[in-house]
Structure 1
Amino acid sequence: MDVKPPAAGPTDPAETAPAPAGSATTGGAIREQLRNLTLRQQRFERYLGRRLRVDAAGLAVMDHLVNVGPTTPTDLARRLDASTAATTLVIDRLVAGGHAAREPHPTDRRKVIVTPAEHWGATAYEHVAPVIEGVTDAASELSPDEQAVVAAFLERIVGVYDDATDR
């Protein structure tokens, strides 16, 4: 899947859709803000993909390589819940684009490992740093008790998503 430049015109219709009925009910404001957060995260991922010239699948692979470290294509496929064939195609695009490299496995000559290009982490960080810094600043404005409440709430929301996808 190739990342295309943004279309001219209005923003994503989902971002401008009216709030669902009942938003004023208990929890409605929180649900609405979580929805807004999700939409903004998706928009940021599209922006990051355009800036780095990598599609969504490539971003997932690169995120894994930068945060977890070099690994085999089979392990990448397993960790990203994708087929080895699909993962191979993503790796092929990343290698062709200069974002990653295939190198001999250090202990098993039959295997290769995929590594991020040397410049990748620093280049990606340039685009991600404002978000990291903004979240850090917003969190630092909360009292320790408020931070604990927010962290516990977000942990519960993560659990909701985990429960919904573990069925």
Structure 2
Amino acid sequence: MDDLRAALSVEMQTLQAAVDAFDEAAAGVLGVNRTDLRCLEILVREEAAAPSALGLALGLTTGSVTAMLDRLEKLGYLTRSPDPSDRRKVAVRATDAVRQKAWELYGPFVAEGEELTRDYSAEQLRLLADFLRRSRELYDHQLARVRELPVVKRRR
């Protein structure tokens, strides 16, 4: 059993490295940094988001969120408009242009992923989904812990 857990751990680490490399390449194609890419992923997935929600999801300060949104708006990747339910708030939305670029990057990935999952039974898919959910929850928990640690200032 320990051998299986070790093999699973190696596969998870290798998968994380592959995801990281893919995200780095995708960010390069879009001309953004990794945090901007995460913001775009949220906006493409959601109808709209408030700047405060983006900041919370990305671990950014208010000023950093504003600078990020300015960069992404300048690239034509998002719009900001008054929230229809509360005009004092702002709704941030992905543009059709960035949705198209995202589909060009991730569409083939989605198609191959759908093909890959055809080999699994419903029970196996439930098991995989449970494992991935629980793994994400573990990361969320550990991220909260690490964010509480002191940050080493980088030398320039």
The TM-score bracket by the shorter chain reads: 0.7 to 0.9
* Larger helix share, 1 or 2: 2
Partner of 2:127: 149
Partner of 2:31: 53
Looking at structure 1, the residues matched to 13 and 40 of structure 2 have their Cα atoms a distance apart, in angstroms, of 26
The residue type equivalent to 2:44 in the other structure is V
- Give the TM-score taking structure 2 as reference length: 0.79
The residue type equivalent to 1:122 in the other structure is Q
- Give the TM-score taking structure 1 as reference length: 0.75
> What is the aligned counterpart of 1:75 among 49, 53, 60?
53
Looking at structure 2, the residues matched to 144 and 120 of structure 1 have their Cα atoms a distance apart, in angstroms, of 34
Looking at structure 2, the residues matched to 87 and 122 of structure 1 have their Cα atoms a distance apart, in angstroms, of 23
Report percent identity of matched pairs: 26
Q: How does 1:16-165 map to 2 (within 5 A)?
A: 25-165=3-143
Question: Which sections of structure 1, spanning at least 5 residues, go unmatched?
Answer: 1-23
Shift of 1:150: 2.5
Looking at structure 2, the residues matched to 166 and 155 of structure 1 have their Cα atoms a distance apart, in angstroms, of 17
CA-to-aligned-CA distance 1:85-134 (integer Å, 9 cap, x gap) = 11111001001111112223324444432221222112201110122122
Looking at structure 1, the residues matched to 76 and 129 of structure 2 have their Cα atoms a distance apart, in angstroms, of 38
CA-to-aligned-CA distance 1:30-61 (integer Å, 9 cap, x gap) = 11111111011011111111111221111111
The residue type equivalent to 2:33 in the other structure is D
SS at match of 1:27: helix
| Alignment length (residue pairs) | 144
SS at match of 2:124: helix
Looking at structure 1, the residues matched to 138 and 52 of structure 2 have their Cα atoms a distance apart, in angstroms, of 29
The alpha-carbon distance between structure 1 residues 25 and 67, as it changes in their structure 2 partners (threshold 3 A), is same
2:35–2:58 CA contact under 8 A, matched in 1: no
What is the root-mean-square deviation in Å for CA atoms of aligned residues? 2.1
Question: Which sections of structure 2, spanning at least 5 residues, go unmatched?
Answer: 146-156
